[in-house]
Every structure is written in C-alpha cells, then in structure tokens.
Amino acid sequence: MVEGKVVVVTGAGGGIGRDIALAMAAHGAKVVVNDIGAALDGAGGSAGPAQQVVDEIRAAGGQAVPSTDSVADAASAARIVQCAIDGFGRIDAVVNNAGILRDRFFHKMSVDEWDSVLKVHLYGAYYVSRAAATHFKEQESGALVHMTSTSGLIGNFGQANYAAAKLGIVALSKSIALDMQKFNVRSNCIAPFAWSRMIGAIPTDTDEQRARVDKIKQMTPAKVAPLAVYLASDAAAAVNGQIFSVRNNEISLISQPRPVRSIHRSEGWTPQSIAEHAMPAMRASFFELDRSADVFSWDPV
C-alpha cells in the first residue's frame, strides 16, 4: 500500500505509534521512527525506544532510521522532517502520534500542566506538519494523519488540557486539508480506541472498572495501524479533512459540527423569548446529541 514511500511516525517508540511504524514498514514504506523516550508525563528521555523499533523493522527486512528530536519545539520538529530527507531523500507522509498526559481536574490544573500538553499534542502536530508542508507543496503530494481523541470530540473528566489539544488538532487538520488540497496534499484524523500506556492509569478499584479495562485491553494498538497505512497511501487520494475512529475491528466515520436544529423568529429574540420558546424546542435535540455520543463516551482515548 505504501511501497517506496517515506513516512515519519512521531511517538513511535511504543503503543499505537510503534504498531503504525511497523505496519508502514511491512507495507513497503521507509520509516523515520521518532520518539524521545520520555515518561508518560513527558519527563526524561532515552534513545532506546526509537532504536528498538528501528531494529525490529530492519530485522524484518524493512528500512528505518531513528529520531529522538522533540515535536514540541519548531526547530527540533524541523529536524525530524530533515531526518527523512537526509535518510531517504524525500518525505511522503507524517503520522502525528506523539503525546503526553498531565491529567488534573480543571480547577486544580496548573499553567505548566496545561501548556506542556498543548505543546506536545497541538503545537507538535503543527510544527511537524508545517516542516513537512514545504516539501509536500514542492512535490505536489503528501499525506498527514493526526491522532485526535474522543476526549476532545466528546469530553472527559480531568483532561481539559488533553481534550483541548486533541479537538484543536481536528481544526488544524481541517484547515490543512482546505489550504493544501490544491497541491494534492490531504490531512485526516484518527480517534483510536486502543490499550496503551496513555490509558494504562484508568482505575481498577471496582468490578465495573476492571470489566471496563478488560474490554479496552482487547483493542490492541495493532488494530489502529491498518487505517493509518491506508490514509498514507495513494488509495486514499480522495479522502481529505475527515475524522475516523477505530475500535477493535470497527471503523467509524465521525460526524463534524453541523447545525442540527434552527429556530427563526421574525421579530428577533430577547433573553425571555429564548427561554420560553427557543430552548424548550431545542431540548429534544440536546438529548439526541447526548445519546449519539454515548456510543463512544465509555472509553475516551
């Protein structure tokens, strides 16, 4: 599916990123395996995780090079893309998968906890995509695959930073899709349901919680990889600006914000008339939207 293409996968030292990198290589891509080897909260760093995935790819007969630069800095992110150019002479696709967590209830969240998560997820997706965009424009081809989350699409407790970043990535992807389509560059998002260290801290204090975690553990990162490979391939040339989710063996197309109900009043609205007429008429729509979200809200990732 991606024979001969050069693909950058960030956060590829483990979890979903690792399986995407392995799948890209298995389907013929030359892969830049990017990972700083940090802890889940972004602390520390090690070249080990990226190199280990590179070794796995090479042992299977594929081609890969490691990158340990951070996505959270513009110059560092540019070096990730340059690694592809230096190692393989071009770049054809980027999978923006790198991420950290600093979970905290909103009223307790620090500025650093907010800023650090946005820097890796949202700024990181921008920095790496922007560095690749120049090459994509010149060659008039390219694909961007961004990891979003149901935490952003639907919401989740204690993750205002993560949710804001992940929903911001959706808007970023849509804007890139619109801006770059004339250069045959496309941009899409995946909201993955998969067991990884990013959700390994889910409490298991009750039978209900343990049952929930056991269910999520069946959704391995490898289930997400085929869609990422497809979106990076020429077979997905007509797919642009979309949001998908992968949950075990199920792929879903996620709706994007659209008006679901409108009410017109020829004489205009007052706060009182909104309370008496508009909101009562719209409450049924609130319920319908809440019910539609229930399908995904049980395991934000």
CB count within 10 Å of CB 58 equals: 13
- Count the alpha carbons within 13 Å of 148 in the hemisphere toward its beta carbon: 28
Residues 24 and 93: their CA atoms lie apart, in Å, by: 10
Beta strands in the chain (DSSP E): 6-10, 30-34, 63-67, 93-96, 142-147, 185-193, 243-247, 250-253
Sign of CA dihedral 258, 261, 267, 271: negative
Residues 219 and 272: their CA atoms lie apart, in Å, by: 49
Residues 6+ apart with CB under 8 A from 211: none
The answer to whether the beta carbons of residues 121 and 99 sit under 8 Å apart is: yes
- Selection from 199, 146, 174 nearest residue 9 by Cα: 146
What is the Rg, in whole angstroms, of the alpha carbon atoms belonging to the chain? 20
Catalytic residue check, 127: no
How many residues does the structure list for the chain?
301
The set of catalytic residues is 162
